[in-house]
Amino acid sequence: MVEKIQIAHIPDDLPIYVACYKDVQNASFLKQQLLAGNQVYNYAFVDATTILSRQHLLAAAFRALNDHIHDRLKSNNVHSEIVVCLSSNNNIGDAFRRFGIQDSTKDLVIVKVGLSPEFASESVEGHLKDAIEGTPVPFDDAFLRQTCDLDKLRKTYKLGKPQQGKTVMNGNGGHATDERSDIEVQVLGLMALRGAT
Amino acid sequence: MSTTELQVQATDAQELIHLLPSPFTNTQPAPELLTQGAEALVYKTHFLTPAQPAILKFRPSKAYRHPTLDARLTKQRVLAEARVLVKLSAPDVRDAGVHVPGVLALEWDVARKVKNTGAEVERYRKEAQGAVSGAWILMEFVEGSSVKDLLRGVDGYVKGRAGSGNAVNAEEMVVIEQEVKGLLRRIGRAVGALHSKGGVVHGDLTSSNVMVRPYRKDHGLVNGDGDAHGEAEEDRCPNLSGDVVLIDFGLATQSTQDEDRAVDLYVLERAFGSTHPKQEGWFDAEVLKHQDGYKGSFKGSNVVVKRLEEVRMRGRKRSMIG
Ligand SMILES: Nc1ncnc2c1ncn2[C@@H]1O[C@H](COP(=O)(O)OP(=O)(O)OP(=O)(O)O)[C@@H](O)[C@H]1O
């Protein structure tokens, strides 16, 4: 279930590996490993309820990798930077709190950057199998649609309320995919503008 | 380096790579240069995968390449454009009828450094240094064609039919004119929504900076031959249906002043007059004063259209003197 992804424009020797888990039981343990700086747990652990779509997460990974190759990370390493890059403001603690793993996290998106050649999908998969108590699921929009908390996301990015009556206009009832792609464009823009003065 | 030197260089595919900012020097397939203005290079490329087309608008900042520009100015312009685009991509603004390309990624200063992580990234940094510095916006690619190409396509079609001895008859002509007028009203409405709901004046409204994007097929709104769109083919009349999308916000400002809005309309009117003399006569009635155009698009539109008369007068006086 670990997917290797080569993000466009990023050098070939920096692929990323993405895995998703639901019903995670040991979130607080994982969070502690991050806080303790345990190198074995050097991953981006993202709370899946804050992710709109594959594109949303991959856009953050793109910025983190680009900032990495230009040597201007805001945080400790490229993995924590992926979490920072999901945010629209420059406060790192705030980004970790909003997008990173919490004690209560049940659904996880995990990203590993292949910084050296020994990170093959298999080795990432092997480690995660032991490390994560949860059910692996594919990294796809179907999973993220189930888990994403749109109201929280609107607040996080200060997007304002969804328009009343809009779904009536579609004649489609609550057309959730539309609402997602509706806000996705602006979310990507806000992430790209982070830190601009 | 002068613009002509830049052009000479740009004709050489190898050299072109060196006019790209990092990380687009890695990009496969390489970005394709679309236009080269005085200040910006516009490339067609893609976002996260080659299947997602995107536009890279790059403003090189090296003094020796573009002596007239300094880096700070470049940065401010790119950021101003990006901020306006992000503001306008809010769902409620789009629902009001403002369509713009969304911002996908952004660079305002390649050299900005937050901290050094050490030798780990040395090799990438070396590569990056070889690239041209400057500021860039990666934005959504807008499918479709500019209003300029569409209207020229319509003229070409009518002319072509006449030339081939199969001239457009009166009935057909009415249909074509209705289509064109409908498009002009939609342009007026889009600019009105930009001014009112968006709180932005564009600053450089021309028929090249207004595009028509065919409705997406999955909405079931495309009327058949989306492929005929914009092609200046003489045996087919261009399909004018689709969303009016505004591009090139390089000179845009956040303003709700009637004067700024009126000047925006004046710029568009003048651009129309010089590029589309055939349709110029319709500009006032369709773009501006039609209930489905600018006038009907927001409450304060009357005041702006009134103000436009003053702006026109000033323009005439100026051209008489100067
Ligand atoms: N998002 C887009 N989608 C499709 N085509 C685009 C897009 N942005 C720009 N283009 C094409 O590239 C051309 C040049 O772009 P643009 O007008 O933004 O650059 P410019 O005029 O050189 O910039 P500026 O006036 O800000 O210095 C446009 O006329 C259009 O044909």
B247 alpha carbon – ligand 1 mean position (Å)? 6
What is the residue-averaged pLDDT of chain B? 85
pLDDT score for A18: 97
Mean pLDDT along residues B271-296: 92
Q: Quick one: which of B145, B180, B155, B160 has its CA closest to B234?
A: B160
The half-sphere exposure of B279 on its side-chain side, counting CA atoms within 13 A, is 29
Of B38-47, B61-70, B142-151, the least confident? B61-70
- Cross-chain CB nearest to A190 (options B86, B94, B121): B86
- Mean pLDDT, to the nearest integer, of B12-18? 47
Task: Identify residue B322 by its one-letter amino acid code.
Answer: G
Task: Report the candidate in B19, B22, B24, B25 with the shortest Cα–Cα distance to residue B40.
Answer: B19
Nearest CA in chain A to B123: A69
A45/B277: higher pLDDT: A45
Q: What is the pLDDT of residues B84-105, one digit of tens each?
A: 999 999 999 999 999 999 999 9
CATH number for the domain spanning A144: value is 3.30.2380.10
- In Å, how far is B116's CA from the nearest CA of chain A? 6
The yes-or-no verdict on residue B14 having pLDDT over 80 is no
Of B27, B46, B102, the CB nearest to A188: B102
Q: Per the domain annotation, does A160 fall within a domain?
A: no
- Residues of B with a Cβ under 8 Å from any A Cβ are 22-24, 26-28, 46-50, 79, 82-83, 85-86, 89-92, 94-95, 102-106, 108, 110, 112-117, 120-121, 124-125, 127-128, 140
**For the residues B3-12, what does the mean pLDDT come to?**
45
B208 lines ligand 1 (CB under 6 A): yes
Query: How deeply is B228 buried, as exposed, middle or buried, from its count of CB atoms within 10 A (0-12, 13-18, 19+)?
Result: middle
In A, what residues contact B, Cβ < 8 A? 7-12, 55, 58-59, 62-63, 66, 68-74, 77, 115, 159-160, 162-163, 166, 182-183, 185-186, 188-190, 192-193, 196
Q: Which residues of B touch A7 (CB under 8 A)?
A: 48
Query: Which chain B positions have a beta carbon within 8 Å of A69's beta carbon?
Result: 22-23, 121, 124-125, 128
Chain A: closest CA distance from residue B227 (Å): 25
- Closest by CA position to B141, among listed B22, B52, B20, B205: B52
Contacts of residue B79 in chain A, CB cutoff 8 Å?
Answer: 193, 196
Q: Which residues of chain A have pLDDT under 50?
A: 167-177
Are A70 and B124 a contacting pair at CB < 8 A?
Answer: yes
Mean pLDDT across the stretch B140-153?
96
Kindly report which listed range (A48-52, B164-168, B290-294) carries the lowest average pLDDT score: B164-168
B225 tagged catalytic: no
The b-or-e profile of A39-54 (16+ CB within 10 A means b, else e) is eebbbbbbbbbbbbbb
Q: What is the pLDDT of residues B104-126, one digit of tens each?
A: 999 998 666 544 555 455 555 55
Q: Is residue A195 a part of any domain in this protein?
A: no
Query: Is the model more confident about B5 or about A78?
Result: A78
Q: Return d(Cα B247, Cα B217) in angstroms, integer.
A: 22
Tokens of B106: 């952004």
Q: How far apart are CA A144 and CA B186, in angstroms?
A: 37
- Rounded to a whole number of angstroms, the distance from the CA of B220 to the nearest CA of chain A is 12
Q: B48 and A190: CB-CB below 8 Å?
A: no
**What's the domain count of chain A?**
1
Band of pLDDT at residue B72, cut at 50, 70 and 90: confident
Residues of A in contact with B113 (CB under 8 A): 71-72
Q: Rounded to 5 degrees, what are φ and ψ at B26?
A: -85, -15
Report, as an integer, the average pLDDT of B244-254: 97
Chain B contacts of A91, Cβ < 8 Å?
none
Determine which one of B109, B204, B284, B292 is catalytic: B204
Number of H helices, E strands in chain B: 10, 10
Residues B163 and B141 sit within 8 Å (Cβ to Cβ): no
Contact (Cβ atoms closer than 8 angstroms) between residue A108 and residue A20: yes
Query: What's the gap in Å between the CA of B52 and the closest CA on chain A?
Result: 10
Res B123: pLDDT: 53
Give chain A's mean pLDDT. 90
Distance, first Cα to last Cα, chain A: 40
First-to-final CA distance of chain B? 32
Domain span at A132? 3-154
Going from the C-alpha of B37 to that of each of A46, A78, B124, the distances in angstroms are 42, 36, 30
Name the residue of chain B whose CA is nearest to A56's CA: B104
Is the pLDDT score of B46 beyond 50? yes
Closest C-alpha residue for ligand 1 atom 16: B248
Cβ(B215)–Cβ(B318) under 8 Å? no
Q: Say how many CB pairs under 8 Å bridge A and B.
A: 110
Is position A178 within any domain?
A: no
pLDDT at B109: 81
In a domain, A129, yes or no: yes
CA distance B294 to B289: 7
Cβ atoms B151, B253 nearer than 8 A:
no
Of B3, B33, B42, B253, best ligand 1 pocket probe by most atoms within 8 Å of the beta carbon:
B42
| Burial class of residue B3 (count of CB atoms within 10 Å of its CB; 0-12, 13-18, 19+) | middle
Establish if A180 belongs to a structural domain.
Answer: no
Domain-embedded: residue A101: yes
Whether A92 is covered by a domain: the verdict is yes
Distance, in Å, from the CA atom of B88 to the CA atom of A103, rounded to the nearest integer, reads 37
B140 vs A45: CA distance, rounded Å? 29
Q: Scanning every residue of chain A, which has its alpha carbon at the shortest distance from the alpha carbon of B87?
A: A186
> Over chain A, what HEC string results?
CCEEECCCCCCCCCCEEEEEEECCCCHHHHHHHHHCCCHHHCCEEEEHHHCCCHHHHHHHHHHHHHHHHCCCCCCCCHHHHHHHHCCCCCCHHHHHHHHECCCCCCCEEEEEECCCCCCCHHHHHHHHHHHCCCEEECCCHHHHHHHCCHHHHHHHCCCCCCCCCHHHHHCCCCCHHHHHHHHHHHHHHHHHHCCCC
Flag whether pLDDT at B233 surpasses 60: no
Contacts of B211 (CB under 8 A, 6+ apart): B142, B144, B145, B146, B147, B244, B245, B246, B247
Contact across the interface for B102 and A186, Cβ inside 8 Å: yes
A31 lies in some domain = yes
